[in-house]
Structure 1
Amino acid sequence: MPLIFSAVLLVAVLAFAVVRPRGLPEAVAAVPAAGLAIAVGLVSWDDAVAEFRELGPTVGFLAAVLVLAHLADEHGVFRYAGRVAARIGGGDPTRLLTAVFVAAALTTAFLSLDATVVLLTPVVLATAARVGARARPHSYASAHLANSASLLLPVSNLTNLLAFAASGLTFLGFTAYMTLPWLAVIVVEYLVFRLWFRDDLRVREEPRPDPGNGPAPRYALVVLAATLVGFAVVQPLGVHPAWVAVAGALFLAVPHRVSPRTLVREANLPFCAFVLALGVVVLAVQQHGLERLLGAITPEHADLLGLLAVAFLAAALSNLLNNLPATLALLPVVESRPGLLLAMLIGVNVGPNLTYVGSLATLLWRQILHTHDAAPDPRDFLRLGIATVPPTLIAGVLALWLSLRLF
């Protein structure tokens, strides 16, 4: 009964997060569910507090990066990226797709997947219209790369932050292991996109008026570059990367005199509360049977077959539970084996491209397209996911297997 009740709570929280009735934040369901799990004894108070302490620094970093990405947008970084992509595209939809892949991959890696979905996607839609290209290939690219291109850095995705905290790796060590998988996944995804959208990429539409060019936001780009370097420098010194993100946000906030109220709003505290509460709900399911089940079916050795099995298991779990609960559930099983932990990350980051429910970022991308009258077709998304996810998972795992031997 405890397992059934815990599973019902988790399903209810995830269903609310997917539907978001009346636009209510995910925390509206997650926080009471976590409180109920503690009240009825599914999770002890001490275990809940320990979970909060473990997740706290990671959630604090998430809030700081959300603010950093918003301020970068205020400085025009994403509009500048759109202008550069339009120049590279030169009216050719295929070249524009290449530029969008590069922009989305770099944005996801350095500013997190939320920045790609929330801030870059509208720019991609506008850029496609400006050069007379169909928006579909380029908008789908921003969604897919928000997930799959988040493999590179610990700061690229909340799943990475959770795994990084448990891995014992340094910032540069994590990046060294994941560089080859990141490149392999992006290249394979690009090749599939070129084939899948070949008809759309041949079509030229009437371009919209060009709003003109502006200067590059040099100050913001320098601050972002310095922030990225800071992530790598301070971690070996025992300083949490969240403080570097806070410093970068402050440097971007000062020239625009951004109000404290705006900074708090952009930190998205309700979503941070959702992550903390979700951790408790997932802990209840883990303690009452899920962890034993996953431990029984997870391979013990980080050979090629073991890496593939863990990656595909993580991808499947992401599409059943969403990638954040999947990460929380799998971490205790694989955290003592870094190779399997990194394979799990490939699964929870690439796997969500199969279905809408795979990641919260994909659900948010769908909402953004609806507001721009470019609603995606669920069947198209699923078919594209079937075409991209298996080959990108295999490519990513093969590259990880090679990295583990090289380093």
Structure 2
Amino acid sequence: MSTVAVVRLSLLTAAVVGVFIRPVRVPKWAAPVTAAVLLLLVGAMSTDAALEAIRPPVAPLAFLLLAVPLAVMLDRLGFFASVAALVETGPNARLGLWALAAAVTTFLNLDASVVLLTPLYIHTARRHGFDPTMLAAQPALLACLASSALPISNLTNLIAADAYGLGVADFALRLGPASLVAVVVGWLFYRRAGTAAAPHSTITDPVDGRALRLGAPIVIFVVLGFTVGDLVHIPAWAVAGAADIALVALTRTVRVRDVPFGAAALALSLGIVATAASPHLGLGSLFRGSGALAQVQVAAVAILGANTINNLPALLISLPEVGGHTEKLWPLLFGVNFGPVLVLHGSLAGLLWRDTAARLGVEVSAWQYSKLGLRIGLPALLTGLAVVVGTGIFLD
């Protein structure tokens, strides 16, 4: 193995390990950013190659930086508290909210679910005595479990659809059944986990008519922009940016600390070091073979990749290995979409959710997220994987 290969693999290892094992006061992004800088300084990756590596995630990261302030300013306006005050709860309130998050994720996209539903669910929990952390977790969990059935549901789907000329019917047929089963199984385990929580105190905020009048048009604009915008080539970050400008005018408050620069730096630097190391990872051998075992292997590689280097770079470095073998594409997409249910930084949506929740007073550590993922997401993931493999065997 060449010296360059050793350097690249060593820096990738250091970046990934540094995310999980680090002193308490050292931020998650410190090790990956340091590794990416060293990669360039020692000449193990050219500047042009690094720029090419960061080109695909630029738009998603721009959205990440603009969407968290959007949610925070809507909350500061009082919109989510007022909507929560109008929400009636009953014996099946959590099930209804679970179904809503699944529908928003599937038919709009996971970013809309995380940005708009996380603050709403936090306020609903506080008003009606639910555990805010558990209710806020619903959009995060369903951003993984329900984001595979349609091309629009996830950026990874759109990338694959563009590369292979796939349409709505392809995704609905190949990944729709797995998504549906995973949502149902996820709910069964979520319900069991949630029953252990003791009732919380309630907050009775009044309905602010002004907040509803000012906030509703912005939310409608955002929802339409996230859906119709794609059809007319208006990126999601531009929609979020326009909404931010309107909210700055309304709230007259801009706070730099509301912008999740650390989360963006983490995703960007991991993408750089992963791209540099990808030729030396031996991915080609992991994508060989056929049948059920080969599909499980591809899904496992994708899950591992998503949970170490983030699902977007994991997809981008794996797609060339799929080549013309489209039967391998579906377990790959399953892995990068469902896998982040286990690790917080496995997707940009997870980072977006964490920063949105934290700025609304709900702090969830990476370990707390993984515990929820293991208890609720893992059974859903394994069941969904069985369905994906079965679907592939039946159709191929």
Tell me, yes or no, whether TM beats 0.5.
Answer: yes
Q: Are 2:334 and 1:346 aligned?
A: yes
Q: Are 2:377 and 1:385 aligned?
A: no
Within a 5 Å distance, the mapping from 1:8-407 to structure 2 comes to 8-18=10-20, 22=25, 26=29, 29-53=31-55, 55=56, 58-64=57-63, 66-67=65-66, 70-71=69-70, 74-75=73-74, 90-92=89-91, 95-106=92-103, 108-109=105-106, 113=110, 120-152=117-149, 156-157=153-154, 159-160=156-157, 163-164=160-161, 166-169=163-166, 178-200=175-197, 204-212=199-207, 214=209, 215=212, 217-234=215-232, 239=233, 241-242=234-235, 245-247=237-239, 249-250=241-242, 253-254=245-246, 257=249, 271-272=263-264, 274-287=266-279, 289-290=280-281, 292=282, 294-301=283-290, 304-334=292-322, 336-356=324-344, 358-359=346-347, 362=350, 368=357, 372=361, 378=367, 381-382=370-371, 385=374, 388-395=377-384, 398=387, 402=391
User: What stretches of structure 1 of length at least 5 have no aligned partner?
Assistant: none
Q: Given the two structures, how large is their TM-score scaled by the length of structure 1?
A: 0.72
Between the aligned partners of 2:111 and 2:60, the Cα distance in structure 1 is: 13
Greater per-residue helix proportion: 1
User: What stretches of structure 2 of length at least 5 have no aligned partner?
Assistant: none
The Cα shift of 1:132 comes to: 1.9
Between the aligned partners of 2:47 and 2:65, the Cα distance in structure 1 is: 30
Change (3 A) 1:171 1:39: farther
Amino acid at match of 1:33: A
Between the aligned partners of 1:223 and 1:176, the Cα distance in structure 2 is: 31
The Cα shift of 1:119 comes to: 6.2
Amino acid at match of 2:45: V
Measured against aligned partners, the alpha-carbon deviations of 1:375-402 in whole angstroms (never above 9, x if no partner) come to 5694794375155324434325625864
Amino acid at match of 1:71: L
Between the aligned partners of 1:6 and 1:364, the Cα distance in structure 2 is: 28
Measured against aligned partners, the alpha-carbon deviations of 1:247-301 in whole angstroms (never above 9, x if no partner) come to 56426634753799959987756655554443331122112x20x2x22122444
Could you tell me whether the CA contact under 8 Å between 2:71 and 2:116 is conserved in 1? no
Between the aligned partners of 1:391 and 1:204, the Cα distance in structure 2 is: 26
Between the aligned partners of 1:225 and 1:149, the Cα distance in structure 2 is: 18
Amino acid at match of 2:206: P
Question: What secondary structure, in the 3-state scheme, does the structure 1 residue paired with 2:143 have?
Answer: helix
Amino acid at match of 1:282: A
Between the aligned partners of 1:362 and 1:248, the Cα distance in structure 2 is: 18
Measured against aligned partners, the alpha-carbon deviations of 1:177-222 in whole angstroms (never above 9, x if no partner) come to 544443332222112212343444xx54543324336447442243
Amino acid at match of 2:381: T
Change (3 A) 1:134 1:310: same
Could you tell me whether the CA contact under 8 Å between 1:117 and 1:146 is conserved in 2? yes
Q: Given the two structures, how large is their TM-score scaled by the length of structure 2?
A: 0.74
Between the aligned partners of 1:61 and 1:322, the Cα distance in structure 2 is: 13
Amino acid at match of 1:51: A
Is the deviation greater in 161-170 or in 219-228? 161-170
Percent identity of paired positions between Structure 1 and Structure 2: 29
Change (3 A) 1:211 1:404: farther
For these two proteins, the number of residue pairs brought into alignment is 389
Change (3 A) 1:386 1:3: farther
The Cα shift of 1:326 comes to: 3.2
Could you tell me whether the CA contact under 8 Å between 1:143 and 1:362 is conserved in 2? yes
